[in-house]
Amino acid sequence: MAQAEKMFDKATRMGEQAQDRAQRVSDQLQRAAEGGWEGAGRSISEVNRGFQALAAEMTEYSKKTFDDAIRTWEQLIGVKSLEQAIEIQSQYAKRVYENHMTEMTKLGDKLMCVRERC
C-alpha cells in the first residue's frame, strides 16, 4: 500500500509539472500571438497612412494638371496666328511631360517609403 501511495504521489507530481509546463508554453504562445497581432496592426496602419498620402498626392497632381490644361485652352482660344498656337501647345507639352516625370518620381519615392515601413 505504501508503494502505491508513493506511485500515486509521483504520478500526481508529474501531472502537476506537466500542467505547469503546458501553462508556461501557453502563456508564451499567447504573448507571442499578441505581439504578432500588435505588429500586424501597426503595419496595416502604416500602409493605410502611406496609401492615404499617395491618394492625396495624386489628387493634388490631378487638380494642378486640370488647371494647367484649362489655362492652356484659354490661351489657345485667344491666339491670332498658327505660330502662336504651336508655341502654346509646345510649351504645354513640355510642361506636362516635366510635371508628369516629377510627379511619378515623387509617387515612386512615397511608395518606397510605405514599403520600407512595412
Q: How far apart are CA 77 and CA 35, in angstroms?
A: 63
Domain that holds residue 63: 2-117
The pLDDT tens digits along the chain (118 residues) read: 566 566 667 667 776 776 777 677 677 767 766 666 666 666 777 777 878 888 888 899 999 999 999 999 999 999 999 999 999 999 999 999 999 999 999 888 888 877 776 5
Q: How far apart are CA 54 and CA 47, in angstroms?
A: 10
DSSP code at position 81: S
What was the pLDDT predicted at 110? Answer: 83
What was the pLDDT predicted at 64? Answer: 92
Quote the number of domains for the chain. 1
Is the CB of residue 107 less than 8 Å from the CB of residue 51? no
Q: What pTM does this model have? A: 0.59
